[in-house]
């Protein structure tokens, strides 16, 4: 039987893999307790979405009908598990690599307290994003329609959450959150990007926004837009430099346009037409279009 034939080879395959793991390459890391847990981080993120949208992301079985008690349970859960994951992630910061465990745990708890205090700010920004999406999309039947079904708003919301952790200098976890959003929505926004209020993503699939991008208020992007780096030949040596464009207030960028370069500024109120390839600054109020 096939099962018998496979079963007879399992020990050989295990031995083969164990030998391969012993080569001490980057992919051979076996210390699972030194790496943030992706499943736990996603669970934390989903609970944070419940705090941002209390009527939309809900538990299937309520432990209490009182909102205050519900919030207490969720916040306790988030603070406990997020503190544990942040403490693990802090070891990636040279400042904490050799620090005493209690010092790292205390710092993680302080970070989580500061982050949770930012939830009203996150909700304020998300509310403006919801309004901008509703105002800008005649296909939207209601704001409930947008919250429940629009990938653009989900990607923006997760980015708002991750960005606050990024500002608190938490390694790894913000990017894990936004890459989860990327996998769910097809929209790739780096948590380091600075994005103003009333941000609208229409359709959204294929949008890429780089880590040093600066985006003003009332900006609208359509599907396939890239806000990216002009050149990455120097690779990781460019880490931390301004590589991505600045879009000032009230800019609209239509589908499949690429805007590249850290010195590129798209002026206030400019409109970038679909499939345009922009590597130089654009004056405020300008209209740029691609002519094939």
Considering only 23-32, 38-47, 131-140, 229-238, which range has the smallest mean pLDDT? 229-238
| pLDDT tens sequence across 150-168 | 999 999 999 999 999 999 9
Structural Rg of the chain based on CA atoms: 22
Residue found by looking up tokens 């893999």 in the block: 17
Mean pLDDT of 278-291: 94
Q: pLDDT tier at 117 (50, 70, 90 boundaries)?
A: very high
Considering only 23-32, 90-99, 181-190, which range has the smallest mean pLDDT? 23-32
pLDDT above 80: residue 203: yes
Please state, in angstroms and rounded to a whole number, the distance separating the CA atoms of residues 77 and 1.
Answer: 49
Mean pLDDT of 74-78: 95
Mean pLDDT of 175-192: 98
The predicted model scores a pTM of: 0.91
- DSSP H helices, 117-193, are 119-136, 143-149, 151-167, 173-185
pLDDT above 80: residue 223: yes
Written as six digits, the tokens of 132 are: 């901008």
Ramachandran angles phi, psi of 232, nearest 5°: -125, 30
Considering only 2-11, 132-141, 178-187, 225-234, which range has the smallest mean pLDDT? 2-11
pLDDT above 90: residue 28: no
Percent with pLDDT over 70 in the chain: 93
Q: pLDDT tier at 3 (50, 70, 90 boundaries)?
A: low
Strand 258-260 with 226-228, pairing: parallel
pLDDT for residue 192: 98
């Amino acid at each position: 039987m096939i099962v018998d034939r496979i079963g007879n080879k399992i020990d050989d395959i295990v031995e083969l893999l164990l030998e391969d793991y012993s080569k001490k390459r980057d992919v051979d890391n076996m210390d699972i307790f030194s790496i943030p847990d992706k499943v736990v981080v996603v669970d934390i993120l989903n609970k944070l979405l419940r705090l941002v949208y209390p009527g939309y992301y809900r538990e299937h079985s309520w432990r209490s009908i009182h909102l205050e008690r519900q919030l207490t349970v969720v916040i306790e859960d988030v603070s406990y598990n997020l503190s544990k994951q942040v403490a693990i992630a802090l070891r990636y910061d040279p400042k904490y690599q050799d620090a005493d465990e209690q010092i790292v745990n205390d710092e993680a708890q302080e970070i989580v307290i500061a982050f949770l205090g930012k939830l009203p700010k996150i909700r304020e920004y998300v509310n403006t994003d919801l309004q901008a999406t509703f105002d800008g999309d005649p296909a939207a039947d209601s704001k409930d329609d947008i919250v429940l079904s629009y990938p653009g708003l989900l990607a923006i919301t997760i980015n708002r959450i991750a960005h606050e952790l990024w500002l608190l200098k938490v390694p790894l976890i913000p990017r894990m959150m936004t890459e989860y959003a990327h996998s769910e929505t097809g929209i790739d926004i780096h948590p380091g990007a600075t994005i103003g209020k009333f941000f609208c993503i229409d359709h959204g699939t294929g949008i890429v926004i780089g880590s040093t991008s600066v985006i003003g208020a009332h900006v609208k992007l359509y599907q396939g837009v890239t806000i990216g780096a002009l050149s990455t030949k120097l690779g990781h040596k460019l880490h931390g430099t301004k590589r991505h464009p600045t879009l000032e207030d009230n800019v609209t960028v239509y589908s499949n346009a690429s805007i590249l370069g850290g010195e590129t500024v798209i002026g206030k109120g400019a409109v970038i037409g679909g499939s345009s390839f922009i590597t130089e600054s654009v004056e405020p109020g300008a209209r740029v279009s691609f002519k094939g």
